[in-house]
């Protein structure tokens, strides 16, 4: 049994098989309308979501399956103090596969350790969002015709933007990728992304605060919103929230075949006038999210022509010590061992949230 917790849970060959399946679903969805008949997806969403939750539900229903679950922690037994581990043990008796979104980093990984069904990470705090990355890959490949040799600009909240972290982690595996990291200094990519992902990969990257200077060189511009819910200080949010706003004037600086992506929802970081530009790909991106999640559900349930091979057990050495990250699942769930692994830079990092010891 396989889970999708981290973008690296799939090899490049497995990713390509999944994207090819998603493309075939997009071309002929009627071929797949009964593939998941009598199968059930549990959507375990502990924080608000529109696109991700509804796209998972639409994906399962398009495959002929059914959906059960909850859309907020308040409507689940989490409000009574039930742990993630206990919830997934129970849900494993009711469903065939589960998608979990949680505000605590590492919660889906914690769930996968106790689950008898495949678990999909649908977003864990500011950590990872691997299914959004699958959506991004499908959109980039359809727009650009390839996934290698691209210059990708990531703009906005790169510190708490889990979609950004997952996309970087995946795209460094493709040759000749270059990242332009566009953000205020306060919202730069976390150190573990630099030290454990970008630097060991040898991938080229530059940091800048200027969107205008970056625009002419980009093949892909990935806009993100400044996320109010991730800020402890409201004044800090108000100071940074309008750092980058994409307008038609800024779009005029970009390449004719530029692809503009956004994981949505947007607030004001892309003006409405940009929607009419043919280079705006974010609503197409949302549609692709349904196709790629259909492909993912089929893949994890073993309903494809080429089933996933079992992954070998991890051989990394783990050390037990306290995780200081207040957003980590270890801080709220009883009985969770605070386990750290040694990252490529030699630093000990929490297995759940990548916090440095």
Look up the CATH number of the domain holding residue 119: 3.40.50.1370
357 — pLDDT class (breaks 50, 70, 90): confident
Does residue 343 register a pLDDT over 60? yes
Q: Which residue has the higher pLDDT, 313 or 62?
A: 62
| Across 3-24, average pLDDT | 96
Residue in 101, 85, 104, 100 with CA at minimum distance from that of residue 327: 104
Please tell me the predicted confidence (pLDDT) of residue 127. 85
Could you list the beta-strand ranges (E) of 29-116: 40-45, 66-70, 97-102
Both tokens of residue 273?
């006038």
String of DSSP letters for 304-348: SSSPPPPPPPP---EEE-----TTBGGGTSTT---EEEE-TTS-E
101 catalytically annotated = yes
Which strand (E) or helix (H) includes residue 62?
helix 51-62
pLDDT in tens, 173-211: 999 999 999 998 888 998 889 988 999 999 999 999 999
125 — pLDDT class (breaks 50, 70, 90): confident
Residue 26's Cα: distance from chain center in Å?
A: 21
User: Are residue 250 and residue 135 in the same domain, yes or no?
Assistant: yes
Whether 120 maps to a domain, the answer reads yes
121: helix, coil or strand? strand
52 catalytically annotated = yes
User: Are residue 137 and residue 244 in the same domain, yes or no?
Assistant: yes
Which residue in the list 2, 3, 39, 52 is annotated as catalytic?
52
Whether 328 maps to a domain, the answer reads yes
Q: 138 near 165, Cβ under 8 Å?
A: no
User: Are residue 34 and residue 93 in the same domain, yes or no?
Assistant: yes
51 catalytically annotated = yes
Please tell me the predicted confidence (pLDDT) of residue 225. 84
Per-residue DSSP letter, 11: -
Q: What is the CA radius of gyration of the chain?
A: 20
User: Are residue 79 and residue 173 in the same domain, yes or no?
Assistant: no
Which residue in the list 2, 3, 39, 101 is annotated as catalytic?
101
User: Are residue 106 and residue 135 in the same domain, yes or no?
Assistant: no
| Across 109-132, average pLDDT | 94
pLDDT in tens, 278-289: 999 999 999 999
User: Are residue 107 and residue 134 in the same domain, yes or no?
Assistant: no
80 catalytically annotated = yes
User: Are residue 122 and residue 153 in the same domain, yes or no?
Assistant: no
Quote the longest CA-to-CA distance of the chain: 55
Whether 268 maps to a domain, the answer reads yes
Does residue 231 register a pLDDT over 60? no
Both tokens of residue 176?
């000749």
Q: CA 270, 148, 5: angle at the middle one, nearest 5?
A: 75
User: Are residue 274 and residue 136 in the same domain, yes or no?
Assistant: yes
Does residue 94 register a pLDDT over 80? yes
User: Are residue 52 and residue 124 in the same domain, yes or no?
Assistant: yes
Which residue in the list 80, 185, 316, 337 is annotated as catalytic?
80
213 — pLDDT class (breaks 50, 70, 90): very high
Whether 306 maps to a domain, the answer reads no
| Across 84-89, average pLDDT | 96
Whether 78 maps to a domain, the answer reads yes
279 catalytically annotated = no
Please tell me the predicted confidence (pLDDT) of residue 238. 67
Q: Domain total for the chain?
A: 3
79 — pLDDT class (breaks 50, 70, 90): low
Domain encompassing residue 245:
130-286
The mean pLDDT of the chain is: 92
Which residue in the list 40, 129, 162, 241 is annotated as catalytic?
129
């Amino acid at each position: 049994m396989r889970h999708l917790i981290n973008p690296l849970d799939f090899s490049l060959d497995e990713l390509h098989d999944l994207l090819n399946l998603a493309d075939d679903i997009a071309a002929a969805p009627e071929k797949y309308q009964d593939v998941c008949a009598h199968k059930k997806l549990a959507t375990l969403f502990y924080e608000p979501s529109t696109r991700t939750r509804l796209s998972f539900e639409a994906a399962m229903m398009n495959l002929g399956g059914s959906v059960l679950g909850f859309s907020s922690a308040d409507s689940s037994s989490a409000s009574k103090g039930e742990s993630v581990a206990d919830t997934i043990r129970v849900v494993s008796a009711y469903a065939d596969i589960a998608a979990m979104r949680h505000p605590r980093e590492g919660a889906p990984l914690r769930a996968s350790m106790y689950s008898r069904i495949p678990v999909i990470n649908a977003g864990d705090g500011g950590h990872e969002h691997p299914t959004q990355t699958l959506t991004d890959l499908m959109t980039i490949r359809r727009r650009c015709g390839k996934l290698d040799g691209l210059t990708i600009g990531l703009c906005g909240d790169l510190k708490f933007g889990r979609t950004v972290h997952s996309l970087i982690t995946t795209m460094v595996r493709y040759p000749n990728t270059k990242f332009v990291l566009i953000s205020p200094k306060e919202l730069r990519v976390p150190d573990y992304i630099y030290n454990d992902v970008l630097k060991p990969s040898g991938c080229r990257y530059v940091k800048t605060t200027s969107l205008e200077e970056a625009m002419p060189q980009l093949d892909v511009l990935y806009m993100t919103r400044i996320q109010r819910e991730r800020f402890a200080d409201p004044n800090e949010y108000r100071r940074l929230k309008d750092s980058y706003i994409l307008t038609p004037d800024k779009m005029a600086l970009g390449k004719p075949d530029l692809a503009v992506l956004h994981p949505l929802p947007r607030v004001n970081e892309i003006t409405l006038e940009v929607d009419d530009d043919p280079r705006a790909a974010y609503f197409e991106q949302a549609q692709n999210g349904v196709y790629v999640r259909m492909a993912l559900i089929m893949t994890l349930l073993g309903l494809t022509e080429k089933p996933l091979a079992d992954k070998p057990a991890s051989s990394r050495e783990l050390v037990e010590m306290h995780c200081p990250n207040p957003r980590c699942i270890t801080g709220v769930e009883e009985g969770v061992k605070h386990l750290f692994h040694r990252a490529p830079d030699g630093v000990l990092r929490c297995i759940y949230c990548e916090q440095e010891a």
